[in-house]
Structure 1
Amino acid sequence: MANGTAAAGWLHRVTDSDIWWSFKSSPMTVAAALLTLFIFAMAFLAPVLAPHTPFDPATLNLSDGLKPPVLVSADGDWTFPLGTDDQGRDVLSSIMYGTRLSLEVGFASVFVAMLIGITLGLISGYFGGTVDAVIMRIADVQLTFPAILVALLIDGVVRGLISVKRHDEIALLVIVGAIGLSFWVSYARTVRGSVMVEKNKEYVQAARVIGLSPLLIMVRHVLPNVTGPVLVIATLNLGLAIITEATLSFLGVGLPSTEPSLGTLIRLGNEVLQSGDWWITVFPGITLAALVLAVNLLGDWLRDALNPKLR
């Protein structure tokens, strides 16, 4: 009974908040949220919902190759509603599995970037001085390079240190680390600025007086007060991380063909695009564009909702 009362109270606070009002009063934001939820459900439930297992060689039949979508050609097969590629893989199932992999890379990359950026931002803002100067100069240097070039550099260094076979085995970890190391600067600079404001407030001074360690003060008292801007950056960076991964995979330095993301699917389709088999590239491209657009719209709304000055 107590748990039910607590849950009801929490639900009432959420539905009565300014953020919820801002959300439901924006039709575009609601549409973006529904589209995001739909894509997420199709991706993470792919093993259950996908009509085929596209990357299991035992289930493929070359005679099913290059079938067109059913809605644009009488030669289509409803078994493969969005057509097939040159290997006989169902495009719809490939998109579902590829979207799941792209989202996994995106979320993991954002987590790595947040972990690095928040940690360095807290240290830089709290301690200041030489520590702050060194961290911020490193951040300034990295800002002079586009994120895609940083990711390419890191991936190239790893490829030079290990064999191609070993790289393919750990390609997911490499790409997550490369993208994460490309996006930490925005978190660090934002957290640093917020910490420099918060550390001079009375509650932080009181925590120092009673003898709490700097680590405990940063984690328990300062960090909760800077989560708003970090959450906004994370939402926007999710779309950027997905685009970066797709770009790397399209260039052939991302995930291997045995673990295709949306970027890999677009690259594989681009190789046969001149033959007129447009659906292999177009449908993954539409999915990628819709996903990134929906996530970015949610990020823009969240930025405005958490900043009273923009309401």
Structure 2
Amino acid sequence: MADSSARSGASPGWLHRMTDSDVWWSFKSSPLTVTAAVATILIVAIAFLSPILAPHTPFDPATLSLSDGLKPPVLISSDGDWTFPLGTDDQGRDILSSIMYGTRLSLVVGIASVVVAMTLGITLGLLSGYFGGTIDAVIMRIADVQLTFPAILVALLIDGVVRTVISVQRHDEIALFVIVGAIGLSFWVQYARTVRGSVLVEKNKEYVQAARVIGLSPLVIMVRHVLPNVTGPVLVIATINLGLAIITEATLSFLGVGLPSTEPSLGTLIRLGNEVLQSGDWWITVFPGVTLAALVLAVNLLGDWLRDALNPKLR
């Protein structure tokens, strides 16, 4: 009976501790953070449910008609069509559906890029901080060199190298993986330097010394004991870098070196709209631009809050 009571009370106790934590109090006491969280969840949910929620399939040529091209939004013109509430582009694609599908692609690229950068940065940071010596010197000098170049230039360089190695058609087929790898390799330095600094502090503590005494391998010590104690700063960097990764992808796509027009992200949609902006068809680029700005702003606000909430000096 006592054991069953303990098991039944475990979940409420965990929930009670979470709702009584300083982080939760900081979150619910900031209306701006709550608004940013709601906006982020809403945009992400709509984006990933776009195959179900979108009124049209904007990138299926069989569903497009040139007679539907350049219809204005219904709220600003009597020539609008409620079938296309935000208007259409010159190919007859529904802007609302294009934004929903494009946001999903931007989020996929952003999240995958952060995962790649985080995995590479954490691994190199652990090795550099734990072993030190030559390994530390080599990794940190590479990081110092990369820091002298803006992330967008590193991504452009990597994408350019891939384009010279493979054909244009093949590049379009694997463009998503190329752009994820390029952005991921541009952002690993922050993770590596942060993790290295934390490992230099943690590896001299008693629990690490005890793990060495009982014969645990360095890999086990780093992954099982050191890594959980350095995840706080990493999560903050990941949240902030998500917005930067989305902006970087949008910039690359706007420059024409990102995702192809057949699978456009928000950046590609803005570029396509910019080509006809002078003719007065502003909605093609403005609505994707507003969506991109709202998404990045909401994510950055969450990142700023998380940084402050996990900083013990500000509690």
TM range (shorter): over 0.9
| Stretch deviating more after TM superposition (6-15 or 273-282) | 6-15
Post-superposition offset of 1:15: 1.2
Q: 1:68 aligns with which of 66, 69, 72?
A: 72
Partner of 1:218: 222
Q: TM-score, normalised by structure 1?
A: 0.98
The one-letter amino acid of 1:249's match is S
The one-letter amino acid of 1:91's match is I
Post-superposition offset of 1:181: 0.2
Q: Distance in 2 between matches of 1:10 and 1:277?
A: 54
Is residue 19 of structure 2 the alignment partner of residue 18 of structure 1? no
How many positions carry a matched residue from both structures? Answer: 311
Partner of 1:203: 207
The one-letter amino acid of 1:100's match is R
Aligned-residue CA RMSD (Å)? 1.1
Partner of 2:133: 129
Q: Distance in 2 between matches of 1:310 and 1:170?
A: 45
Give 1:93-172 correspondences, 5 Å limit. 93-172=97-176
Partner of 1:245: 249
Q: Unpaired segments of 5 or more residues in structure 1?
A: none
Post-superposition offset of 1:10: 2.7
Is residue 31 of structure 2 the alignment partner of residue 27 of structure 1? yes
Report Cα offsets for 1:134-190 as digits up to 9, x if no partner. Answer: 100000000000000000000000000000000000000000000000000000000
Post-superposition offset of 1:13: 2.0
Q: Unpaired segments of 5 or more residues in structure 2?
A: none
Post-superposition offset of 1:8: 3.0
Post-superposition offset of 1:74: 1.1
Q: 1:46 aligns with which of 18, 42, 50?
A: 50
Distance 1:75 1:185, change over 3 A: same
Partner of 2:96: 92
Is residue 261 of structure 2 the alignment partner of residue 254 of structure 1? no
Q: 2:236 aligns with which of 232, 235, 238?
A: 232
Post-superposition offset of 1:14: 1.6
Q: Distance in 2 between matches of 1:10 and 1:87?
A: 54
The one-letter amino acid of 2:91's match is Q
Is residue 183 of structure 2 the alignment partner of residue 179 of structure 1? yes
Post-superposition offset of 1:5: 4.5
Q: Distance in 2 between matches of 1:19 and 1:40?
A: 23
Q: 1:284 aligns with which of 276, 284, 288?
A: 288
Q: TM-score, normalised by structure 2?
A: 0.97
The one-letter amino acid of 2:287's match is F
Post-superposition offset of 1:12: 1.9
The one-letter amino acid of 1:162's match is I
The one-letter amino acid of 2:304's match is D
Q: Distance in 2 between matches of 1:150 and 1:182?
A: 6
Q: Distance in 2 between matches of 1:21 and 1:80?
A: 43
Is residue 312 of structure 2 the alignment partner of residue 308 of structure 1? yes
Q: Distance in 1 between matches of 2:263 and 2:14?
A: 41
Percent pairwise identity: 87
Report Cα offsets for 1:91-136 as digits up to 9, x if no partner. Answer: 0000000000000000000000001000000000000111101100
Q: Distance in 1 between matches of 2:11 and 2:201?
A: 35
Q: Distance in 1 between matches of 2:282 and 2:12?
A: 51
Q: Distance in 2 between matches of 1:184 and 1:41?
A: 28
Q: Distance in 2 between matches of 1:220 and 1:179?
A: 28
Q: 2:60 aligns with which of 49, 56, 63?
A: 56
Q: Distance in 2 between matches of 1:213 and 1:67?
A: 65
Q: Distance in 2 between matches of 1:32 and 1:300?
A: 11
Post-superposition offset of 1:7: 3.6
Post-superposition offset of 1:11: 2.2
Q: Secondary structure at the match of 1:183?
A: helix
Q: Distance in 2 between matches of 1:7 and 1:111?
A: 30
Q: Secondary structure at the match of 2:154?
A: helix
